[in-house]
Structure 1
């Protein structure tokens, strides 16, 4: 009887723990030619389906521009109609509740400068890693 109880606990314990995972993907960004213009990247999402109940927890990103960024350059990561400001070209943040674990995500770039940007800013690549947990 005791032996059966111990065996049952061994099989139940792993199921009760939360699982963790992550995915990484990238896209190109495009070219920002004018100030006061918003450039949106192509959507980025997980390449395959995530486990049911996956909740996004952290986001790491790396943006590769083709040159220096203009004065007042701003970056945000968006999913649906929700956006979070990013403090630089690379980093890691804890995502607010409600961001989807599988995406899609897109970057939005803005320069607060007025008029044409010289030289134009090309965003060569956007890379993200989304960490998630499954309860």
Structure 2
């Protein structure tokens, strides 16, 4: 009976997965006009990840200089797709297809047209990406 329990443990999917994470930050720039996209400097894992790393969750924190224009939106983007973010800080599952190691860029957009009354400076973008290691 002990051997059966050990065999089940060894073939369990949970025994094939491990967790890890990485963090990085960058600055964003200044948004002076509406209806233009401001892209941050890229963020990515500071070191290479093991083979089989699959992105699972993202945590973010963004600091700005102040006033947020009407219709302000934030997205986290990889080279192929973007994820809308729900605010200046939070966490969200990462859909399939997001690379575990990045690189990612934050994109900022204000829906109002023309020159903004008060430019918005993105002081920092912080991101932590959690991943599973599936062998």
Please identify, of 16-25 and 43-52, the stretch whose mean Cα deviation from structure 2 is larger: 16-25
1:101 maps to: 100
Secondary structure in 2 aligned to 1:32? Answer: strand
1:72 maps to: 71
Secondary structure in 1 aligned to 2:87? Answer: coil
Gap runs ≥5 in structure 2: none
Secondary structure in 1 aligned to 2:112? Answer: coil
Deviation at 1:118, TM superposition (A): 1.8
Deviation at 1:16, TM superposition (A): 3.6
Any runs of at least 4 consecutive aligned residues in structure 1 with deviations exceeding 3 A, and if so which?
A: none
Gap runs ≥5 in structure 1: none
Deviation at 1:87, TM superposition (A): 1.0
Indicate the RMSD between aligned Cα atoms, in angstroms: 2.1
- Cα deviation per residue 1:28-77 (whole Å; 9 max; x = unaligned)? 00000001110000110000011110000000000000002111000000
Partner Cα separation in structure 2 for residue 47 and residue 25 of structure 1: 7
Partner Cα separation in structure 1 for residue 124 and residue 118 of structure 2: 18
Q: Matches of residues 46-85 of structure 1 in structure 2 within 5 Å? A: 46-85=45-84
Partner Cα separation in structure 1 for residue 65 and residue 56 of structure 2: 30
Q: How many residues align?
A: 130
Q: Matches of residues 1-135 of structure 1 in structure 2 within 5 Å? A: 16-135=15-134
Structure with max Cα Rg: 1
